[in-house]
């Protein structure tokens, strides 16, 4: 019976209360309240609460998930969506446990903003549904050195207005920024967290020459993808492709309105 529940956790990420009762039976018999155990696990990012209503609460276990399917990793935004945004960790790797923490916080945030659709959660990826009037998929994909963020409008008879799409993109970015600041303050092993917001270099993506590692033109493998830092008041320039022009990334302005660019 226990293996059946663990199988369900790995497939869907949902934590069944029967498994909690079994694993913590000794503590529950000693008078410890189950909700206190769940609250402590949620606080440390071991589980995440998704609450549609006070009587409809689910808990997810990010650390027990299966790898992302290819279809999630291959999703790309439409021309009217914000461009992909990258959290590039300057030490060369995403800190251990950070992605699970970010997934947990994102799940709670989406739940608190009125989302009623359960998410798709995986070891290295997640898809949340956010918004009420204009519905979007908020997608996180974790690689070795960066976390890719996507915001894709879910069509239902019409396109999202440009202003509403930008408003949602900005709220998502501010949530992620605030979450990373909180985690760096709350968790000792993340106290030295260093990251930059980046975009994929459009000039390198258009190059026809093959990369040395993978023999692919315009290689987008995580080791080869050229990322450009987004810096306040500075233009985007590529120092690898020798293109003498300022680069434009369509959709970047939705993440960073001109008045608040980093």
Digit-coded pLDDT (tens) for 73-112: 889 898 889 999 999 999 989 998 899 889 888 988 887 7
* pLDDT at residue 43, as a whole number: 75
Residues 197-256: tens digit of each pLDDT:
999 988 887 766 666 665 565 556 677 788 999 987 788 888 777 677 778 888 999 998
Looking only at the bridges linking them, the beta strands covering 195-200 and 146-153 are unpaired
- Pick the more confident residue, 122 or 158: 122
Mean pLDDT of 136-157: 89
* pLDDT at residue 123, as a whole number: 85
Reported pTM: 0.81
CA distance linking residue 252 with residue 262, whole number of Å: 12
Length of the chain as a residue count:
262
Judged by DSSP in three states, 252 sits in helix
* pLDDT at residue 84, as a whole number: 95
Q: Is 157 left (phi over 0), alpha (psi -120 to 50) or beta?
A: left
Which token pair is 247? 């680069």
Judged by DSSP in three states, 233 sits in coil
Exposed, middle or buried: residue 169 (CB in 10 Å: 0-12, 13-18, 19+)?
Answer: buried
3-state SS string for 178-232: HHHHHHHHHCHHHCCCCEEEEEECHHHHCCCCECCCCCCECCCCCCCCCEEECCC
CA 101, 105, 108, 111 torsion-angle sign:
negative
pLDDT band at 11 (very low <50, low <70, confident <90, very high): low
CA distance linking residue 22 with residue 38, whole number of Å: 14
* pLDDT at residue 179, as a whole number: 95
CA distance linking residue 39 with residue 76, whole number of Å: 36
* pLDDT at residue 81, as a whole number: 92
- Rounded to the nearest integer, the mean pLDDT of the chain is 80
pLDDT band at 177 (very low <50, low <70, confident <90, very high): very high
| Paired residues of 8 in beta bridges | none
Residues 147-162: tens digit of each pLDDT:
999 999 886 655 555 5
CA 97, 68, 213, 209 torsion-angle sign:
negative
Q: How far is CA 163 from the centre of its chain?
A: 22
* pLDDT at residue 258, as a whole number: 63
Q: Average the pLDDT over each of 1-5, 53-57, 230-234 and give the range with the smallest value.
A: 1-5
Other CB atoms within a 10 A radius of the CB of residue 233 amount to: 6
CA distance linking residue 193 with residue 254, whole number of Å: 25
Which contiguous run of DSSP H or E holds residue 141? strand 136-142
């Amino acid at each position: 019976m226990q293996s059946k529940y663990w199988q369900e956790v790995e497939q869907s990420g949902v934590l069944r209360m029967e498994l909690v009762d079994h694993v913590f039976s000794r503590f529950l018999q000693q008078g410890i309240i189950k909700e206190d155990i769940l609250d402590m696990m949620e606080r440390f990012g071991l589980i995440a609460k998704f609450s549609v209503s006070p009587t409809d609460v689910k808990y997810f276990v990010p650390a027990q998930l299966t790898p992302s399917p290819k279809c999630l990793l291959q999703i790309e935004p439409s021309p009217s969506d914000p461009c992909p945004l990258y959290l590039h960790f300057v030490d060369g790797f995403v800190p251990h446990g950070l992605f699970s923490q970010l997934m947990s916080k994102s799940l709670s945030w989406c739940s608190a903003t009125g989302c009623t659709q359960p998410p798709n959660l995986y070891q290295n990826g997640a898809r949340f549904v956010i918004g009420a009037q204009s519905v979007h998929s908020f997608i996180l994909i974790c690689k070795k050195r960066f976390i890719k963020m996507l915001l894709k409008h879910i069509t239902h008879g019409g396109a999202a207005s440009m202003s509403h799409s930008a408003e949602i993109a900005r709220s998502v970015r501010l949530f992620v920024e605030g979450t990373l600041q909180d985690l760096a303050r709350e968790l000792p092993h993340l106290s030295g967290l260093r990251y930059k917001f980046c975009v994929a270099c459009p000039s390198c993506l258009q190059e026809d020459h093959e990369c040395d590692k993978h023999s692919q033109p315009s290689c987008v493998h995580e080791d080869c993808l050229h990322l450009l830092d987004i810096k306040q008041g500075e233009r985007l320039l590529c120092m690898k492709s020798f293109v003498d022009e300022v680069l434009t990334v369509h959709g970047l302005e939705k993440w960073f309105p001109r008045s608040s660019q980093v």
